[in-house]
Structure 1
Amino acid sequence: MARIIPSDLSRLALSGAHEPEIATLAHLRDALPDDYSVFHGVHWTRQYRGRALYGEIDFVVVNGAGKVLCIEQKNGPLAETAEGLVKHYGDEHKNVGQQIQRSIDSIREKFAYQVGKKPGLDIEYLIYCPDHAVKQVVAAGLDAERIVDARKRDRLAQQIQTILPREPGDMGEWAQQAQAFFRQTFEVVPDVHAHIDAQDKNYARLSQGLLDILANIEMAPLRLRVLATAGNGKTLVARHFFDLCIEQGRRPLLLCFNRPLAERLARLVEPGGQVATWYGFCDTFLQSRGIQLDFATMRSDPEFWTKATKQLEAQALTVTPSHDWRFDTLIIDEAQDFENEWLEAIGLFLTQDADILMLEDPSQNLRGNAAPPRHPGGFVGYRSMLNYRSPERIARFINQTLPELPFTCANDLPGLGADVHLYDDPSEQPRLVGRIVGRLLKERFRPQDIAILSCRGIESTALKDVQRVGNRSLARFTGDYDLFGNQIYSQGQVLFDTVRRFKGQQAPAVILTDISPRTDRLAQELQVLFCGMTRATVRLELVCDGTSPWVGKRLGGQAT
């Protein structure tokens, strides 16, 4: 029986493998002798002309002498062309032979760089297409001995041993070096910064699609309602549309519910117009009319902002807002969090033919609004379920965990997957989080790459009074504001906040805590979890209540 690395096949399913690959791995484990090692889901990265190149090899087999066989498995039909075997993915196609050759070249290069051994790795290849019978090997441009097709699928293990024969005896130094290279390079210390860099560039490129759609809509005045899933680029669209309005000499108003997001957008957009939360907009306008809200009563009065909205409406109706408070463009991000009364009040500050762009995601209705906001007539709707942010392994994990909140993964980068950690008592979480942070740092994530987010409120999280996790201090909102009204954070190395406050943002590594969905508010708390999970761009870590029935059913079998 061959040695499988990693050995837990259930984690392979979690990491994004399809059933055919899992079946192949189980077959190799049972059919190959015990002096063979099989590495699966090997992701490689390398720099080329200033760019991070990515690839993946389904299986890497290493024999007792340290010789290597790379296996590329292609499921479903293939096309046989003059250039070779080709796999079609929608409008794209990949040459199978060229793909595996690039992977082999990259592995050789990385081995030489890390190990410095001469000669380099001895690497062979094999293409496994269990659903396709190759008709003309010559046309495919490949050696027949290096293809195991549908007619020879039962002889896969035999063909592997023909190409990579057994070499009995104790594993020598070279073989140990080769084994250690694959184990360390691809499992223990992934090239994290290459993942982060590639993810940032990929997201920026892919999410331009929504911008292109917006740019090609001819409508005057614009009345567009975009319903799009997390990671679709809604906030990016809000920012770029705002800047476009400034370039055209217009006066835009950009509103969102989340204050950290509003402050971040205000720093990024071109000067001019106004960026605010609805609450901030109310407060600032009333102050301009000499009215000071009594914030001391805000926590005790559930109608505080309803009353403030009515005051704003009364003032705007009594005296028409001045030019400084008139806008010819309205952009609302997080529109699902807005209430109908707010939308009606905002209309008092718009010119008659103002353009209106509303961006929302019903799957992130974290305030639990009973009904979606009503919209005036004349709106055109656009819906998109494409998530460009979450890499493939994380996206698959989210879809498996939360099937009631579906989306389509549109990011072909692999990412570094998701891990689940269980606690029996909430007080165990600081220790668990400290351990996770330590491991992420060892994997070469930087402290600023990590965001620890609670699925509870800031006053009810188990990390409420925690100042450090492991050897790292936490940067958290102090509750105070500077002279310009910006939130003040404590000095710390790793960000700690809540999912609700982190909406619209992202981080390479996200650690979600306090995951214990309550049955009496399950739908809303699953949306909070969905929002938190879709913040991660490379790695996702979940810290969950092991006593929760929901956690036991959905996540318990995946815990590390």
Structure 2
Amino acid sequence: MVCRVFPSDFELNQSAITSAAMAREIQTLKTLQNGLSDSYSVFHSVHWTRVLDSKSRALGEIDFIVMNRSGELLLIEQKTGPLLEAQGDLLKSYSPNQAAKSITFQLSRNQDGLLTKYRKLHNTLLNTTNVLYCPDYKILEAKVSGLDRNQIIDSSETDLLCQKLMKLLPGGQPSNESKQIERFLKNELLIQEDLVRISGAHNQLTTRIAGGLSGWVARLTLDPYKLRVQGTAGSGKTQLAVQEIKVACTKGLKALYVSFNRPLARHMKEIFEGEANVTSLFSFCEELVRAEDSDLAKKRGYVTNSLDDLFELAASIDPPESAKFDLVVVDEGQDFTQQQADFLISWAKPLGKVIWLEDPVQNIYQKPRVSLPNWALINAPVNYRNPKPIAELLHLLLTRISPESGDGLGCANPFEGLPINYLRYDKTNGTDMKRATESAIASFLSKGFNATQISVLSFKGQAKSTLLAFDKLNGLALKKPIINKVDEYTTGELETDTLFRYKGLSNLAIVLTEVEFEELNERVARLLFVGASRAKLALAIVHDSPLEKTISTQAI
């Protein structure tokens, strides 16, 4: 786990980068983010004010504050470019027409300003240590007034920045004071929990960093090209599929994308707009059967919603060479049987490219693992989609699903996100689930999310869900699947569905409701993993279960 950074959308807030010095600070911030552990939080460009008298006010700025779990602070001042050493002091010249200014005086003034303001607010002291970071200058004198040599990190030690900071400030133990100090520093930064404001930044940044998987796959040379990708939720599997299909279409090649999940296939189809054959297993089989014999289904007593009957008919059709594809991408591969896998792979040309995408953790149907002998394998265990509170829950769930894999899941999402909102209801009360669900929705709406940025997912299947029987929630018409209608939805602004159908999709805010269970066993943990991992920024879990107690005691 990487450290938390405030503000979390710093990298994409290009309008704030108005100088070369600011660009260097962003570079340092990235170094801290990647080099410090999750025992630390980093606050960037903390502005403070100190009232001197009724008519004047001194303004200052601390470049970085690093806080450990105990609430102890390092106040880091970064000075780029050349410095001056004179009479035991360090000086910085900002203009040829102005006298060089004392850096150590600036450090002391900033420290005093922060301590004074915190003491006035909370009547207690902060534990702070000043640090000077000068990445372009090597200190000549061993002694600098007001600073120990180990509080100065110069150009000879830039590669050791994070190691030296962690030596100055060990990780510490969690304390009640640390939350109070964090709130104080957030206020100084004017950080508000307006996560909708950074939703665009979230999509842009996570898309870019998750694109690393696509980059690695593009560099592979395989003969035959048969690639199996095992990636956790949010690892970039869908981005990889999109990239591969776009490249194939650009080259004029025939491409096929197949997902077991129909809503996911529908979403992908909207991306390509007819450039490629993008479909679900159900729709692909249906298309083949109808092309072979429009009356064949009737002759066999085919029932529209029976995938097994439909697949049996489709699998009996031998694909002609002219109909085969240069590229076949199979998504959500953990949901397919061996027979279905062999069938789909048979639709690739002899020299065609086949990419199989899967996440064994999301095998909620508990199907046997498909055998793909002699295929190249890439493991992608890093989650770029979910912010820290959700990633921590996923890690706990993974230890219940696959204890040996618990430490293998990595989180690389830089956004703080909101704490998970747990809301209890009484399942014996017929209206209590709706009350709690609407409370979760109202909370997201109050934070600025609009209805289209919220998806409400039932933990139950479509036939057993009470949620999907509603026409409105919070006065909003529901967009929901129509029972016994393939890929047809009601018209509404608030999306509702089951987590089974929604697998592979995501939204900024997810309300996972109708969560009812007695024991957090492996299957329940898989379902929770799927539902929680759909949330890009915020998650609410509406439940009647021992979930909170189990998590708080770290029994999973």
Q: TM-score, normalised by structure 2?
A: 0.68
Residues 314 and 17 (structure 1 numbering): CA distance in 2 closer, same or farther, change over 3 Å?
A: closer
Partner of 1:314: 316
Contact 2:455–2:495 (CA under 8 A) maintained in structure 1:
yes
Contact 2:345–2:354 (CA under 8 A) maintained in structure 1:
no
Q: Residue by residue, what CA displacement relative to the aligned partner does 1:426-467 show, whole Å, maximum 9, x if unpaired? A: 631111111222222121111100000111112212313212
Residues 549 and 439 (structure 1 numbering): CA distance in 2 closer, same or farther, change over 3 Å?
A: closer
Say which of 466, 470, 473 aligns to 1:469. Answer: 473
Partner of 2:338: 340
Supply the distance in 2 between the matched residues of 1:86 and 1:315 (Cα, whole angstroms).
58
Partner of 1:38: none
Supply the distance in 2 between the matched residues of 1:438 and 1:296 (Cα, whole angstroms).
47
The alignment partner of 1:308 has SS state of helix
Q: Residue by residue, what CA displacement relative to the aligned partner does 1:314-363 show, whole Å, maximum 9, x if unpaired? A: 331xxx5262x321221100111110011222344332122110010001
- 1:249 Cα deviation after fit: 1.9
Q: How many residues align?
A: 443
Say which of 367, 374, 382 aligns to 1:386. Answer: 382
Supply the distance in 2 between the matched residues of 1:168 and 1:408 (Cα, whole angstroms).
37
- 1:200 Cα deviation after fit: 0.6
Contact 2:249–2:276 (CA under 8 A) maintained in structure 1:
yes
Residues 309 and 400 (structure 1 numbering): CA distance in 2 closer, same or farther, change over 3 Å?
A: closer
Letter in 2 for 1:523: E
Contact 1:434–1:471 (CA under 8 A) maintained in structure 2:
no
Partner of 1:63: none
Q: Residue by residue, what CA displacement relative to the aligned partner does 1:17-68 show, whole Å, maximum 9, x if unpaired? A: 99xx9xxxxxxxxxxxxxxxxxxx9758799976589xxxxxxxxxxxxxxx
- 1:232 Cα deviation after fit: 0.6
- 1:297 Cα deviation after fit: 6.3
Supply the distance in 1 between the matched residues of 2:494 and 2:356 (Cα, whole angstroms).
33
Contact 1:127–1:146 (CA under 8 A) maintained in structure 2:
no
Partner of 1:455: 459
The alignment partner of 1:245 has SS state of helix
Supply the distance in 2 between the matched residues of 1:100 and 1:137 (Cα, whole angstroms).
27
Supply the distance in 1 between the matched residues of 2:514 and 2:74 (Cα, whole angstroms).
47
Say which of 211, 216, 222 aligns to 1:213. Answer: 216
The alignment partner of 1:412 has SS state of coil
Supply the distance in 1 between the matched residues of 2:2 and 2:221 (Cα, whole angstroms).
43
Supply the distance in 1 between the matched residues of 2:292 and 2:104 (Cα, whole angstroms).
78
The CA RMSD measured in Å over matched residues stands at 4.4
Contact 1:441–1:447 (CA under 8 A) maintained in structure 2:
yes
Letter in 2 for 1:367: Y
Residues 399 and 141 (structure 1 numbering): CA distance in 2 closer, same or farther, change over 3 Å?
A: farther
Supply the distance in 1 between the matched residues of 2:258 and 2:515 (Cα, whole angstroms).
30
- 1:255 Cα deviation after fit: 0.9
Extract unaligned runs of 5+ from structure 1: 1-15, 22-40, 54-82, 109-117, 149-157, 170-177
Say which of 514, 529, 551 aligns to 1:554. Answer: 551
Partner of 1:80: none
Supply the distance in 2 between the matched residues of 1:552 and 1:288 (Cα, whole angstroms).
55
Pairing 1:55-74 to 2, within 5 Å after superposition: none
- 1:308 Cα deviation after fit: 3.4
Supply the distance in 1 between the matched residues of 2:460 and 2:290 (Cα, whole angstroms).
33
The alignment partner of 1:403 has SS state of helix
Sequence identity, in percent?
Answer: 21
Supply the distance in 1 between the matched residues of 2:534 and 2:390 (Cα, whole angstroms).
10
Say which of 429, 432, 435 aligns to 2:433. Answer: 429
The alignment partner of 1:232 has SS state of coil
Matched, 1:444 2:448: yes
Supply the distance in 1 between the matched residues of 2:57 and 2:463 (Cα, whole angstroms).
57
- 1:230 Cα deviation after fit: 0.2
Supply the distance in 2 between the matched residues of 1:128 and 1:274 (Cα, whole angstroms).
52
Residues 402 and 541 (structure 1 numbering): CA distance in 2 closer, same or farther, change over 3 Å?
A: farther
Letter in 2 for 1:310: E
Contact 1:206–1:388 (CA under 8 A) maintained in structure 2:
yes
Contact 2:227–2:354 (CA under 8 A) maintained in structure 1:
yes
Matched, 1:257 2:260: yes
Contact 2:422–2:542 (CA under 8 A) maintained in structure 1:
yes
- 1:499 Cα deviation after fit: 0.9
Partner of 2:286: 283
Contact 1:195–1:415 (CA under 8 A) maintained in structure 2:
no
Letter in 1 for 2:512: L
Q: Residue by residue, what CA displacement relative to the aligned partner does 1:478-517 show, whole Å, maximum 9, x if unpaired? A: 2365xxx7x2321222110111111111111100002223
Partner of 2:498: 498
Supply the distance in 1 between the matched residues of 2:374 and 2:537 (Cα, whole angstroms).
40
